[in-house]
Chains A and B, each alone.
Chain A
């Protein structure tokens, strides 16, 4: 990230979300940029480099957004109370570990921005939407992925971009589920998503589990032992060999005590037992999260 860029986005965010300036500066330092105290008059938003941000097909993105207006609502509608006049920008904040193309800033810095406000928790911010409404002026919403679609969260600003914090939805950790049975993947997904964990991927065999770990870098993996192509224990060995701090929870069944011991010796941190008991699964996952944050 160049040090010559402008931190316009964070300056806006500071006004929108009333973030402590220390959090802004900390994130700015991470990104290697300097804040600037101005908002553009054009109604557009620039990235850190002062370049106009592209508009990304908002209708496509919002078509899947829970609670968001259907695509038709993006059209001019000056007659309806509170209807959207124009959707100015939909900015995608997706993958971690890289730069957000539409913003020109590191996604980790965006996540850091939110963590500065809400503590060291993971978020899954997916899109930032700026709209114009007849009686509210400009409205800014941050959407994030959740079960069943995207949900408005984190913060909302209206009119002259005065901060109006609202529901905060943050995700605890990014989880990869590895199990050859989609039935078991769905059960564990339902249990841990309800607790605020974000499922970033599902693997159906041991080879896919290792590949997805490399590409997704999840915080926690739930790993079945018996899988085709490569067993869960072999997958643990491969992952831990490259990532010694990997947090892997084995999913074991009745009669697999010896294999569980083998998996723990291979580097797995803990295990959960099938059939899954929601409370026991969540206790283990939260324990893993606490250990990881220590």
Chain B
């Protein structure tokens, strides 16, 4: 059987936009509290969802970038907090990249261009060491 991709692409735009808005709100929360387990978990889950949705409708560049952000959030979740303004800035860059790609789709691009530099930058961030005062088991899997 073949799925009606036009229908699902429209649905993707709607749901991905909502997820990105939720991620933005969570990042603002993380500016106030870098160890907010709820916000860290939410960004992880939203990135994970965008990855799966984008992959389902053939937007591989979005899926790839969301996957890189998801992996980065998994590291942060293990560490229990976002380290410093640089760490948070990297997350903002990731979300801005996703927003740009989703906007391109909304404007009619069939396949957004992949951002290899951003994907590499997200992956290149050094693994964060767990802090003694944090609980690495915070958040759900």
Contact = CB atoms under 8 A, between A and B. Distances in A.
Given A183-B11, A255-B71, A226 B3 contact: no
Contact of B1 (A183, A186, A191, A254): A191
Interface in B16-54: 41-42, 44-45, 48-49, 51-53
B10 to A, nearest CB: 10
Nearest to B70: A255
Contact of B56 (A180, A184, A206, A234): A184
A194 B140 CA distance: 33
Interface residues of B, number: 23
Given A254-B67, A259-B141, A276-B56, A180 B49 contact: yes
Contacts of A149: none
Nearest to B64: A254
A279 B2 CA distance: 9
Interface string A242-261: 00000000000111000100
B100 interface: no
A85 B138 CA distance: 66
A190 B140 contact: no
A220 B41 CA distance: 28
Tell me what chain B mostly uses at the interface: helix, strand, loop, or mixed: helix
A231 B141 contact: yes
Interface residues of A, number: 30
B45 to A, nearest CB: 6
A282 B41 CA distance: 32
B140 A183 contact: no
Nearest to A205: B140
A181 B3 contact: no
A230 B140 CA distance: 7
A183 B8 contact: yes
A154 to B, nearest CB: 24
A233 B141 CA distance: 8
A287 interface: no
Given A181-B15, A274-B55, A278-B3, A228 B140 contact: yes
Q: Which 7 A-B pairs have the closest CB atoms?
A: A275-B56, A275-B55, A274-B52, A181-B49, A231-B140, A231-B141, A183-B15
Interface of A: 180-184, 186-187, 190-191, 194, 206, 225-231, 233-234, 253-255, 259, 274-276, 278-279, 282
7 contacts: A180-B45, A181-B52, A226-B44, A226-B48, A253-B52, A274-B52, A275-B56
